[in-house]
Homo-oligomer: A and B are copies of this chain.
């Protein structure tokens, strides 16, 4: 039996700082993966309600599976099919919105023991996105723990899965990990990159970011992170290369470049393990040769989404 980290309490998981001891939780997740049904009574008579303001494949399936591995009941609601929620206070609701988040969050809290929420950013209103208006309003009014399944600015379940994957596959104590921007035809959120940066700054890796000028992430997040505008230099001797597109933070939500020179190639990657959160656009973000090589670990990453979710659910359940 793995030593119970009885001292670790999780009351919610909205960003990676809700984990008090990241290396320990990574080890426990790896342990859990070997015997995913070991705690199948922990979630008995407990219900996870998953609210999707945005579509989902991996997050939906892996989180549902994780909850069921723990014996939980799962109820899923695609919010936009059902609702136009009001998030502002004091509004006279005689136009489009039909229910206020105050009622919604309190009501769902009575049907759920834990609520998981996916709510992407607008990418048009920087301040509103930064305020995490959907996630935070739910967190404020819900009376049960909240799990972030990717919010406007954070994707902490993905970052935890990424850290688990690096821990499993690293061959040296302190591997070099590079997060590189890559081109994409659509404006994408910064959430995955933000949470990955935060996670890397909190585990024992040699970490840097590379991206074209203008693609700097929120400087509060990259405060202690080395940024290199030269991709080739950054990738040198990397053990893990994480590719990800994001839209500009300074010119908020804009696509400043689709420069195909930033696409990841086998030649650039060399023997480094290749990471991506998926879905990935082949031959735009990264060439086929990389994804089809043994150095691609994107499938393992996706698999670890289950155990990232499961360890988070387990910690929260233990605290209910």
Count A interface residues, CB 8 Å.
60
A102 on the interface (CB 8 Å rule)?
A: yes
Q: Contact check: which of B97, B106, B280, B299 meets A106 at CB < 8 Å?
A: B299
Q: A68-B73, A283-B91 are in contact. Are A110 and B55 (CB under 8 A)?
A: no
Report the 4 A-B pairs with minimum CB-CB distance, sorted nearest first: A99-B279, A93-B281, A110-B303, A92-B283
* A298 CB contacts on chain B under 8 angstroms: 103
Q: How many angstroms between the C-alpha atoms of A307 and B292 in the bound complex?
A: 39
Q: Contact check: which of B57, B62, B95 meets A82 at CB < 8 Å?
A: B57
Given contacts A78-B81, A97-B281, A106-B299, 15 further A-B contacts (CB under 8 A): A55-B81, A57-B83, A58-B107, A61-B77, A61-B108, A61-B111, A65-B73, A89-B288, A93-B282, A94-B184, A94-B185, A100-B280, A102-B292, A103-B298, A107-B302
Q: A37-B45, A284-B94 are in contact. Are A306 and B110 (CB under 8 A)?
A: yes
A256 on the interface (CB 8 Å rule)?
A: no
B57 touching A90, Cβ below 8 Å: no
A47 on the interface (CB 8 Å rule)?
A: yes
B110 touching A283, Cβ below 8 Å: no
B82 touching A56, Cβ below 8 Å: yes
Provide the main secondary structure of the chain A interface: mixed
A95 touching B299, Cβ below 8 Å: no
* A159 CB contacts on chain B under 8 angstroms: none
A75 on the interface (CB 8 Å rule)?
A: yes
Instruction: Please list 9 pairs of residues, one from A and one from B, whose beta carbons are closer than 8 Å in the complex, sorted by A's number.
Output: A57-B108, A60-B75, A60-B77, A64-B75, A90-B288, A91-B282, A92-B282, A99-B280, A102-B291
Q: A68-B73, A111-B61, A283-B93 are in contact. Are A103 and B185 (CB under 8 A)?
A: no
Q: How many angstroms between the C-alpha atoms of A7 and B280 in the bound complex?
A: 42
A104 on the interface (CB 8 Å rule)?
A: yes
* A102 CB contacts on chain B under 8 angstroms: 291-292
* A111 CB contacts on chain B under 8 angstroms: 61-62, 65, 306
Map CB proximity to B onto A86-125 as digits: 1 under 8 Å, 0 otherwise: 1001111111011110111011101110000000000000
Q: Contact check: which of B92, B107, B288 meets A284 at CB < 8 Å?
A: B92
A164 on the interface (CB 8 Å rule)?
A: no
A75 touching B65, Cβ below 8 Å: yes
Looking at the assembled complex, report how far the CB atom of A168 sits from the nearest CB atom of chain B, in whole angstroms: 14
* A93 CB contacts on chain B under 8 angstroms: 281-284
* A83 CB contacts on chain B under 8 angstroms: 55, 57, 279
Which residues, 277 to 297 on A, are CB-close (under 8 Å) to B? 278-284, 288, 291-292
A49 on the interface (CB 8 Å rule)?
A: yes
Q: A37-B45, A82-B56, A95-B185 are in contact. Are A103 and B64 (CB under 8 A)?
A: no
Q: How many angstroms between the C-alpha atoms of A49 and B78 in the bound complex?
A: 18
A103 touching B299, Cβ below 8 Å: yes
* A61 CB contacts on chain B under 8 angstroms: 49, 75, 77, 108, 111-112
Q: A82-B56, A90-B288 are in contact. Are A107 and B185 (CB under 8 A)?
A: no
